[in-house]
Structures are given as structure tokens and as C-alpha cells.
Structure 1
Amino acid sequence: MSDLILLGIVGAPHGVRGEIRIKTFTGDPLAIADYGPLTDSKGRSFEITDVRPAREVVVARLKGVSTREAAEALNGVELFVARDKLPESEDEDEFLQADLIGCSVIGPDGATLGTVSAVENYGAGDLLDIETPDGRSVLMPFTKAFAPRIDISARRIEAEPPAGLFEPDDGRSDDAKR
């Protein structure tokens, strides 16, 4: 498991005084400012001095960033926090996405369906991107119904996927199958 957890990604500047947009991955988007200094993949440190909500993002001011040009230079920067700075979860059904990556996905019959390679969200809820043993990528909704039992310490997700989700596609259209 990674020692750094992705909390947000810097987007476009907001205005001309150095404010930035941040897409957050925290439960409460404004909580991104509560973790203290954040770092990027190059080890640079960023301190959020002010944050406010905006539609799908937050608008933030970073210490030392006071011009639109400085804010533009940060577009796309990923902001991380050390895992040990995160509070312990009291909810057994709450997981860090980073902890799900690499977990084996086991079907109802005990067969290995694949390994979680990513957790995606395109707006309708979290999806597990599962790499199957034959190299395909399958997206499965990450819900209690489809992933009823998760054991992070064993790196195992017991799944009850929708019928046919893991069936190989033979490449023919539905009309050609009839």
C-alpha cells in the first residue's frame, strides 16, 4: 500500500490573483485544507491558506501563489498527503481507493475474476476497473450488492457481479450472434 494518498488535482486558475480550482477526493471537499501541507510527486510542498466551494470543485489559495501565471503553472499537479495524516475510519465499509487497487476479485463460485487495477468514477458512482486473467479490463459497479465482502488485510474482494459481466466478448455484434 502506498504511503501517499491522492487528495486532489489542481485545475485551471480562478481569476487573476492566483486562486486555483482543485478537484478533491475527500469526503467533504473543503476538508482538503484540514490535512496541513500537501505534496506533489516531485516533493514540493503546498499549503492551502483559503478554500471555498464551487460547483464540482473547490477554489483555493495556496501560500506563495499570487498571480494567474503561477496558478497556471500548477494546472494538473496532483496533491498528496502522507497516509499517517489521515484519520482512522470508524466505518468498516469505508475504504481508501488506493487500498482497493491490487485486491483479488473472487466470484461467487470461488474462481478468481481478476485484480483491481483502478477505481474510476465517471459521475454515476465508483467503478472497479478489474483486469481479468486473460488481460481484459472489466468495469464493475462498486456497490454493496456487487462487492458484498471486502477484506483489505487479505487483499480480497468477494464479488457477486451482474450476470454476463465477466463473460468473454467474441467480437461479434448482437445481430451476428442470432
Structure 2
Amino acid sequence: MDLVVGRVVKSHGIRGELVVDVRTDDPEARFAQDVSLRGRLPKGGGEKTFTVTAARQHAGRLLLSLAEVSDRTAADALRGTLFLIDSADVESGDDPDEFYDHELEGLPVSTVQGDEVGTVSSVLHLPGGEVLTVRTPDDREVLIPFVRQIVPVVTRERIEVDPPDGLLDPEA
């Protein structure tokens, strides 16, 4: 499974630097000089490997230089490119309360009373916090705020929720 570690937002300057939206907790390692990055090009353009020549912070964002990108035109063409790694290359931490999205996706979800809710299909990272997207057995999508009051039990095998009234009700 692929994990996104960054997304090209736009070009910066005339020398082909890229503004990258970082989606990793270890940008210093993922975007270090001479690291190879696998990029999924926008609009079904396939994949391409890039080599980092420099990375620096500027105004709170990561600016990235790649060996394969030498000018603004080439950088503009990469807008929307996703930089990917294989999930097998990511180690889970020792903290039992920390999970990567891919570790939660596919887990069964039930209520604390034992009623089946569905399966986690994705984790949304919204300004207000994380939200679990759960696909129910009747193929509905339920959004569950990923907070301890509503999601008191998370293990590597299952998730239990204690939803407030109406959260799981399709009529609410």
C-alpha cells in the first residue's frame, strides 16, 4: 500500500523549486539530499522517480529541488504530484495510542456494546481534527470523530465506538 509523504502545491521561483505540502512526521529523512522519491503524476500521468538535490524551509513550507526539474515550466507541470512510499517501509511506533492511517484502514468497528458498525475505509484529517470514515454493512458511509470520548478503544485488531445518539442513525 502506498502512503503519501508530500504533495506538490506549486512552483517557486524560476529555478524549478517546488512548494511541497508535507504529509510525513519525518520530512528531514524523507526529503533529504540524494533521496529518491517516487512521484505519482497528476491526471493519470503515471509514476516517475525523482532525486532530491536540496530541501529547505521557507515561510513555513518546504521548498524542494529535484535533479529532474531545472526550471519553472518543469516545476509547474508537477503541480499536484504525490510523493509516495510503501507502507512496509514505515515502522509502527512503540506508543500504543499512536497509529498511522494505513494501520486503521480495514479495521472492524463495533459499538462498546458489541454491535457491528462497519469497517474503517479512510481517515480524514480536517481542521477540526481527525475523522474515521466507516463503511457500514449496508454500504453507507458514516463519519465518526476520532476523539477518545467517542472512540474509547483502538487496538491493532479492532475499534470500539461509544457514539452519541444519532451519530450512526441513517435518518439523523
In structure 1, the residue matched to 2:161 is 159
Question: CA offset at residue 28 of structure 1?
Answer: 4.9
**Superposed CA offset, 1:71-123 (max 9, x none):** 11111111111234334412122211122122111111111112211111221
Q: TM-score, normalised by structure 2?
A: 0.83
Distance 1:104 1:9 in 2: 30
How many percent of aligned residue pairs carry the same amino acid? 34
In structure 2, the residue matched to 1:175 is none
Q: Does 1:7 align with 2:5?
A: yes
In structure 2, the residue matched to 1:48 is 52
Amino acid paired to 1:18: G
**Pair 55,169 (structure 1): closer, same or farther in 2 beyond 3 Å:** farther
**Pair 19,123 (structure 1): closer, same or farther in 2 beyond 3 Å:** same
**Pair 83,34 (structure 1): closer, same or farther in 2 beyond 3 Å:** farther
Greater strand share, 1 or 2?
2
Amino acid paired to 1:93: D
Amino acid paired to 1:164: G
Distance 2:48 2:127 in 1: 30
Distance 2:57 2:109 in 1: 36
In structure 1, the residue matched to 2:171 is 169
Q: Which runs of 5+ in 1 are unaligned?
A: 171-178
Amino acid paired to 1:72: D
Alignment RMSD: 2.3
Question: CA offset at residue 17 of structure 1?
Answer: 1.2
Aligned residues: 166
Q: SS of 1:64's equivalent?
A: coil
Q: Which runs of 5+ in 2 are unaligned?
A: 41-45
Q: TM-score, normalised by structure 1?
A: 0.80
**Pair 57,106 (structure 1): closer, same or farther in 2 beyond 3 Å:** farther
Is 66-75 or 56-65 further displaced after alignment? Answer: 56-65
In structure 2, the residue matched to 1:101 is 105
Does the Cα contact within 8 Å between 1:29 and 1:57 map onto a contact in 2?
no
